Amino acid sequence: MRSNGKMSLLTTVVYSCCIVLIAQATSTDYCSPDVCNGHVACDMKPDQFNKYNCNVDAEIIRLTMHDKNNILKHINELRNTVALGNLDGFNGASNMSTIRWDAELAYIAEMNVRSCTLHRDSCRNTRIHKNVGQTTAYGGVKGKIRSSSQFITQHINNWFKQSSLATMKDILKYSGIEDAPPHNFLQLVHENVHKIGCATLKQSRHEWTQNFFTCNYDEAPIKGQPVYHSSNRPGDGCISGKNQRLKGLCAIIDDEDEDDLETREDAEFKTKHPNENANNNRAVTSNEKVNDAIPTTNDDHETENNDEDTPNQNADRNDHREAVNKPDNQTQQAHKRTIVASNNDEMLIDFKNANEIPSDNDVDSENMRFRVLEENKWRFTFRRFLNQIEDVVRKGKYKNVRIRTMNHVVTVGLRK
């Protein structure tokens, strides 16, 4: 993509495509029913805390690049363990992806932890991702110092420990029950997760240090479908080839290095949400006295530790945003758009006709596998289509090129 430090036409086109897609994602109206109903970020101010459950010292812990890389490294290594078939009782995986960081998913996760209660959001979708998954955790210690990074490591490990409550039966056919174990484990190892975004909050309560941690995933397991497709040859279904370092996972197909965390999409999203980079964004939302707000702990959410556990003093009080969560595959879906080329001044490049993709309601496992592979395949062939764009420029026949994927349409203006 780069040659002798100079930006080629191909790179310019890629950047143009990204900018258009980013503008769509970061201008999302989270209150729109086209995203889903009852979105956690709807009418939520970026610096707002729940005045009933959050203490005056409640604080969002800003994750550094080092923190984000550690989260990705930790989760990808756990996924790799499963994909290679190295977890007792579980087969290897044929097509488990390597995950990347997503700033918008992290922003929505932050809206969850700002409630200072342990719960899953009934709606956490984006315009791009219509079936967002979620894992949540809480931990509390008294009389001891524990860093947020230590809490996070423990939360992720405890999610993964729910593998002891799962079998290959759960892997081969997801039950759709997300409010009970072993959902967190199944979400962690879902083969079609490509992006993740997390947020964490800490506050004190009567000498207790409380930590809330939430991660959102671009894809959730679908009821009745496999969490991942098993294989005795890990990675044999990877369209992109295998990850060079984590041999059980599929390689990332784009212009970024697999270990390079921050994408252009993340950078653009942060410019639209400056609080993502703020060091201290505490906003006092109420002067009312805050009563004890200790989240209910259960097998699905609790963080195990050797310290004294935080007592439950909040079993009957829930955040006003908390609702009965639908299974992930039942999250309200936005309609896919069908775009038609407009005139002779444009050339339409069609990656995949959305009408050819079976709906979630009527696919069998084989068709679902086909759909997942096709979604990865269009990324893999992206550069070939860009070669067509270069041909258009050379011939000077069209003024614009419209690129259509399964979910998006990008119009690129051409300059001679």
Structure confidence by residue, pLDDT tens digits, 211-225: 999 999 999 999 999
pLDDT score of 44 more than 50: yes
Please report the pLDDT score of residue 364 as a whole number.
41
**Looking at per-residue confidence, does 179 or 142 come out higher?**
142
Average pLDDT over residues 107-128: 97
Structure confidence by residue, pLDDT tens digits, 254-297: 644 444 455 545 555 655 565 554 444 444 343 333 333 334 33
Gap between the Cα atoms of 203 and 282, Å rounded: 12
Gap between the Cα atoms of 63 and 277, Å rounded: 9
Nearest to 384 by CA among 222, 212, 253: 253
Q: Is the pTM of this model over 0.85?
A: no
Give the Å distances, CA to CA, from 415 to 1, 316, 409. 19, 62, 20
- Residue 116 near residue 50 (C-beta atoms within 8 A): yes
Cβ atoms within 10 Å, residue 232: 9
pLDDT score of 395 more than 90: no
pLDDT score of 7 more than 50: no
Average pLDDT over residues 198-207: 94
pLDDT score of 138 more than 80: yes
Cβ atoms within 10 Å, residue 108: 28
Show Cβ contacts of residue 111 under 8 Å, excluding neighbours closer than 6 positions.
40, 41, 44, 121
Cβ atoms within 10 Å, residue 81: 17
Domains identified in the chain and CATH numbers? 29-254 (3.40.33.10), 372-415 (no CATH)
Structure confidence by residue, pLDDT tens digits, 355-391: 333 333 333 434 444 444 555 555 555 656 666 676 6
Residue 297 Rama label (left phi>0; alpha psi -120 to 50; beta): beta
Please report the pLDDT score of residue 281 as a whole number.
45
**Looking at per-residue confidence, does 316 or 105 come out higher?**
105
**Looking at per-residue confidence, does 188 or 329 come out higher?**
188
